[in-house]
Amino acid sequence: MRDNDSKTFGHQFTLELLQGTNNQCIELLHMLRDSYVRLCTHFRVKKWLKDSKHISVEEKLAMFLMMIGHNQRCVIVKRRFQHSKQTIHKYFYEVSDKMMVFAKDIIVPTSFNPNPNISGHDRKLRQICKGAVGALNGTLVHAIVPLDKQHLYRGKGKGDCYQNVLAICDFNMIFTFVVAGWEGRAHDSRILSEALADPNALVSFPPLGFFTFSF
């Protein structure tokens, strides 16, 4: 089926996400509906993405988020949105490129205020963890890599391939540093040590006498 004939399928599915419940968006896109709407609006305002002739910004982002959120193959998203494989590839890489720009826009050093009583997302947590400026943690993300590199990314159990992502955020839930792409399983301390030794990593160090905790 051609894209211009199938516009209603992907368009209708995207409308269901935009007008549906939070649970639907969380299950399919791994984010709240309002967060999805704000993300789409942000990309429009910044002019990072524009509506194409047959596919809206909202649909482009929905296809991208479903692929990365569920490790979906292109053919699955193709069936869901009823677009050609070439179209899915085209807009996946378009959104991916702009996500890298978005990352530079939102992952910034924190403006730290040592007063634990200031208003913020986790005021109570700041009062409990006095002296902390934020938290760091790592997570495993499935990775699809060439056969000759799979041994580097191989994990335990079924032998699936992973990349490790380490993130640091402040108490207003703002990401201040992210390391992505580490091959396979690794302890957070090892990834952090390597990042600290890298002069190009731009790690935001806590002020003297303060710390970032790991959980």
Query: Which H/E stretch holds residue 164?
Result: strand 162-170
Check residues 173 and 54 and name the one with the higher pLDDT.
54
Predicted confidence band of residue 5 (pLDDT cuts 50, 70, 90): very low
Does the pLDDT value for residue 3 go beyond 60?
Answer: no
Query: Which H/E stretch holds residue 136?
Result: strand 132-142
Q: For residue 51, what are the contacts with CB-CB under 8 A and spacing of at least 6?
A: 57
pLDDT 10s digits, 100-141: 999 888 777 666 555 555 555 556 666 666 667 777 888 888
Does the pLDDT value for residue 174 go beyond 90?
Answer: no
pLDDT 10s digits, 135-172: 788 888 877 778 888 888 876 656 788 888 888 887 77
- Amino acid, res. 68: I
What is residue 58's predicted lDDT score, i.e. its pLDDT? Answer: 94
Give the residue-averaged pLDDT of 63-89. Answer: 86
User: Distance between CA atoms of 57 and 47, rounded to whole angstroms?
Assistant: 10
What is residue 124's predicted lDDT score, i.e. its pLDDT? Answer: 61
Tokens of 133: 């400026």
User: Distance between CA atoms of 138 and 125, rounded to whole angstroms?
Assistant: 20
Averaged pLDDT score across all residues of the chain: 79
Q: What is the largest CA-CA distance in the chain?
A: 63
Give the residue-averaged pLDDT of 69-92. Answer: 86
Domain ranges of the chain: 7-106, 123-214
